[in-house]
Amino acid sequence: MNSKANSEPGIGHADRRWLFEGIGLTAVIVALAILFILINPRFGTITNFINILTQASFIIVMAVGMTFVITSAGIDLSVGSAVAFITVVAFGLIKGGLNPLLGVAFMFALGAFLGFLTGSLVAYVKIPPFITTLGMMAGLRGLALVHSAGEMHFGLPTSVTYVGQGVLGGVPVPVIISLAAAVFGAWLFNRTRFGLHVRAIGGNREAARLAGVPVNRVEVMVYVLMGLFTALGGLIMMARIDSTQATIGTAMEIHVISAVIIGGTSLFGGRGSVYGSVMGALLLAMMTNALIIAGVDFFWQLVVMGGIVLIAVAISNLREQRIPALAHFMRREPPGGADNKPARGPAQ
């Protein structure tokens, strides 16, 4: 057997370098936090840190789901529109007298159904994920506008707003929910057959099929999972502001996908990190918070966020040696260059 083949991870298995991708990002976050505190001590208050975690909570939840989607070599551009549609419909039902618990259950059922529809179009109708979710993005936003007639809805029962505004043991409930979602997502991604199949499909779809992976079924389940996490993120967001409208969640997909990319998940599929996605969401929330405290105009905040995403993708491409002009600089050779490589012996 070739020793190189033995040392390489199999299809769908994340190697140690990728599993610990988020550790370097954590160091960056800590360094930036120290820098921001030195620049403006207001950034370093406990209240502000809790505020950052709360602001990042719904992005963290949806980034966990998006990690599965992108690792499977897919994409979901419809999360913002799905949040709008799910929340305006559920809000209307709850305000109309439906039991709040049933209303929340309906949100998850609707999210799962939208995910099932998206996944079926991708897996069985063979419409590319980008086109499928682009169409869903436009369609769901339109349905949200039709349903709400462009009006803002507000005034949820306290049993629902507690999800977004409550505090448990001194910790905001949205933070607790997002951390629980991240732990569950990390377990599902790294410790279950489903997570292995997701990575296998993203790494090599045909090889996964030949290995017996039910590719279409797993792909549908990935989008169903994304729909459930989207519903949970929408619930946190709706409960936190005690309102919703058809324009809620506009451009949210940019923040969610950015968090996943910054966290190290490969845009080409096969490799990902839930922990990295959580750190990516925290980095974006921290940067936004720091820029707001510094009084930076909102439009310049968008410019900074866009730059961060582009840099993250460039670093990812460098790491995976996908830039031909620079790939040869990253190849490892023994001391003395290629001429000093040991000669291969005769075949046995």
Count of Cβ atoms closer than 10 Å to residue 95 Cβ: 14
Would you say the C-alpha torsion 200, 131, 265, 260 has a positive or negative sign? Answer: negative
Q: Are 178 and 63 in contact (CB under 8 A)?
A: no
Q: How distant, in Å, are the alpha carbons of 258, 288, 298, 306, 312 from that of 309?
A: 6, 14, 17, 5, 5
What is the spatial distance between Cα 167 and Cα 77, in angstroms, rounded to a whole number? Answer: 32
Q: Which two tokens stand for residue 121?
A: 């179009």
Spelled out in words, what is the top-level CATH class assigned to the domain 22-322? mainly alpha
Reading the block at residue 100, the tokens are 């709040």
What is the chain's length? 348
Write out the two tokens for 303. Answer: 């410019």
Q: Please list, in sequence order, all residues whose beta carbon lies within 8 angstroms of the beta carbon of residue 338, skipping any fewer than 6 positions away.
A: none
**How far apart are alpha carbons 189 and 186 in whole angstroms?**
5
- pLDDT by residue for the chain (348 residues), tens only, comes to 444 333 334 444 444 554 455 677 888 889 989 999 998 888 888 999 999 999 999 999 999 999 999 999 999 999 999 999 999 999 999 988 899 999 999 999 999 999 999 999 999 999 999 999 999 999 999 999 998 877 888 888 999 999 999 999 999 999 999 999 999 999 999 999 999 999 999 999 999 999 999 999 999 999 999 999 999 999 999 999 998 899 999 889 989 999 999 888 988 888 899 999 999 999 999 999 998 888 888 888 888 888 887 887 787 777 666 666 665 555 555 555 544 544 444 443
> What is the model's pTM?
0.86
The answer to whether 240 and 160 have CB atoms below 8 angstroms apart is no
